[in-house]
Chains A and B, each alone.
Chain A
């Protein structure tokens, strides 16, 4: 049998996994042009993957720079000259800004939707492609062009360091949040280039969201009602709603900032009657929903992983589905919790604090439903599951600390300290990144037709997990002790002469960063090794019931020759494990017998 295209009967001839040389989306057409002008969502997802992972590497290197610079206190009392301190501080500003900006705009916001969403969403819908394939390609090119502007930022910084005079500023030193009045008046950085880049990247995000909403509305197969969809699709749908509603506000905000910087409009400039806090309102109106763009798709991945690796139906499907929508809705009303100390009124503070508490509830609903799914389940500790379990632990910490920060009295001393840095890294990295990597491992066999080495990947996981906690947990403590964020230097002795211990926390954190960096390189190593020497992957290595597992690995160009029939995506009863080579096969007769036996009880 050369092609396995649908549900396989156990009682037929033993099914063979797909041969690597048979026709699939990777070899369907050849040549650079066939990739550059492809309309195939799988190829677009792959191109995104290469670019986005490269951005992650770049931004990670900036993070390593930041953490390395914080190893030493960098103060005059430590012996540094003023000139050296000034240039070190300037460099530090550029490093943390570029780390944040590249991570947020080029890695984390596109990551799950653009890579895994693009690849998997049409397949989970049993469809041949997304609703608007050409818009999909356009969104990829928007990402690339936006990226070019960010590359310009880096190059301008390098050129400046080499002694050339770069007009319009070099690098970026405003913080990823571009707060006025620094960003429109005095910033060294090339704010104009950065804002144009962000504007274009925003359109990549908007077009992806638009595509996903239309696909989910229009391309569901017969039998897949809204409440029969996989939860990953609910998560992507909610994310896409936020993308299309919030990102245009970012677009206009950066346009206004760009114009303010270039021609001095005056809308954020107090000297001209403007209000710098207005920028913060505009900026956070997008950027708070943006953090839910980051985390919601990851939560969708976790739902898929938990089910596949506990061999159990998801607990509370409707609650998880509706909680995704609730998070998307409430996320628009909490932006002021980034601005508790900006001088807004106490009533405003209180309202935002209250709604922030409310938005935590749907997230907690998800966590409890996942835990209930795990309860008394047959748990398989494969590497994707390790990342999923890590997610639950780290998201709990990150989410709860978010509640601490949403409490007014607690936020005032903790804001702009390392507590905030630790909080958002626990949710962005401990949660989103962990789920992203877990999803990559989970869908890797489907995407490339190759398995990865479990042992190697386990080792990499522990480096990442231990390294992550070592990096960021001390930062919670440093924050409560008063270590401010975005500071290149810190005191060794406090004003009353006692040691501050900041240096200890920072060195623990830097050690953790290097450990985690090693772990992430090991993860990359597992992927490269898989591509070069991985075992052939069966169509369904994990025994999941969502539709993407009903086609060969890697999928053919059109995904399915006939639209698969959709049933309950979390009903795993029909699948039986055969062997490592063959994976799980769907046993119709056995499934019917199971149903009959169940009914007879």
Chain B
């Protein structure tokens, strides 16, 4: 080795001290390289999460395809209103998170802290509503596990406790009859416009779900009951709940992890660690939170909005 190269080799460490960026790791040459690497890594991790939940969605799809009536019946125990509120809450928290990333890029510490706080509150709100849903089901014995009233239901006899439970549970999440999407059969439907000149023009309210034809109405006028399931399907109702709790439970774990990560970012933001030259952690945690939101957006219709 020539002496020049030796000197260069010896001096290279001194040369590195030129840019003392405290956030630049020693194995990266520039902050841009480090940032891009971080983004690439995070996107790949999100890909793995998609594949993992994808397996669950696949299990859901197979089971639902094979036993559609079970899903039709059992999903009635889920409260759509709460699910819809959860969806809105999570989407809003995604908005505040994305806005927070922008605030970090612009170096606006106060705004960033406020937005991160709101995001955490959104997550907490989601978990709070989830707790209501879960605890209701726990009380009504339709939780996951052997306490569930449908667990290993005997195909020969209907479980005694379902009889009285069913009516109560089916109404427990109901607000008002008018907001229910499917309609109870009322043998004598009273048309307030009957006999008036408007009868032909104005449809009576709440007799058909909006936008559905008469033919479809004939099909959807009766809420499914346990007895309308065939005996084999009656033994399968528990599986719906197991799938429901597995999917939403795993998702809930991810929400909690996300909240933990955002709290960590919040602490660092309060210490004014982020600015236009360094906002990578906010960006990456934001990506994770968006994925968590996206998974819920798929979960909600698949579990709650079954027709």
Contact = CB atoms under 8 A, between A and B. Distances in A.
A306 B36 CA distance: 35
A558 B26 CA distance: 9
Interface stretch (B62-70, B134-142, B173-181, B215-223): B62-70
Contacts of B2: 9, 12
B236 interface: yes
B239 A218 contact: no
A271 interface: yes
A132 B44 CA distance: 13
A319 to B, nearest CB: 27
30 contacts: A7-B1, A12-B2, A127-B27, A128-B26, A218-B40, A245-B48, A247-B48, A248-B48, A248-B51, A248-B52, A248-B54, A248-B55, A249-B54, A249-B55, A251-B55, A252-B52, A252-B53, A252-B59, A255-B250, A259-B242, A259-B246, A263-B242, A264-B152, A265-B239, A273-B70, A282-B58, A282-B59, A558-B26, A561-B10, A562-B12
Interface residues of B, number: 50
A253 B246 CA distance: 12
Contacts of A206: 48
Contacts of B250: 255
Interface residues of A, number: 52
B73 interface: no
B9 A5 contact: yes
A274 B63 contact: yes
B133 to A, nearest CB: 19
Contacts of B51: 245-246, 248-249
Interface in A219-278: 219, 244-249, 251-253, 255-256, 259, 263-267, 271-275, 278
A213 interface: yes
A491 B47 CA distance: 50
B8 interface: yes
Interface string B7-33: 011101100000000000111100001
Kindly list the 10 A-B residue pairs having the minimum CB-CB distance in the complex, ordered from nearest.
A252-B55, A248-B52, A266-B239, A273-B236, A265-B242, A248-B51, A128-B27, A129-B27, A218-B37, A248-B48
A390 to B, nearest CB: 35
Contacts, number: 136
Contacts of A133: 25, 27
B49 interface: yes
Contacts of A251: 52, 55
B256 interface: no
A466 B276 CA distance: 64
B47 A273 contact: no
A131 B41 contact: yes
Contacts of B163: none
B145 interface: yes
Contacts of A266: 236, 238-239, 242
B299 interface: no
B52 A272 contact: no
B243 interface: yes
A214 interface: yes
B13 A561 contact: yes
Contacts of B242: 259, 263-267
Given A131-B37, A249-B55, A273 B9 contact: no
Given A128-B26, A129-B27, A217 B40 contact: yes
Interface of A: 1, 4-9, 12, 122, 127-133, 135, 206, 210-211, 213-214, 217-219, 244-249, 251-253, 255-256, 259, 263-267, 271-275, 278, 282, 558, 561-562
Contact of A561 (B12, B37, B66): B12
A558 B243 CA distance: 50
B27 A272 contact: no
Contact of B151 (A6, A255, A264, A267): A264
B55 A8 contact: no
A7 B2 CA distance: 10
Interface string B243-270: 1001000100000000000000000000
A313 to B, nearest CB: 26
A523 B28 CA distance: 38
Contacts of A219: 27-28, 33, 37
B166 interface: no
B56 interface: yes
Contact of B239 (A12, A210, A217, A272): A272
Contact of A244 (B9, B48, B233, B238): B48
A218 B59 contact: no
B63 A8 contact: no
A272 B238 contact: yes
Contacts of A561: 9-10, 12-13
Nearest to A129: B27
Contacts of B236: 266, 272-273
Contacts of A1: 1
A282 B63 CA distance: 14
Contact of A282 (B13, B55, B233): B55
B52 A249 contact: yes
A473 B33 CA distance: 51
B41 A210 contact: yes
A428 B2 CA distance: 47
A210 B62 contact: no
Given A9-B2, A12-B2, A264-B151, A273 B67 contact: yes
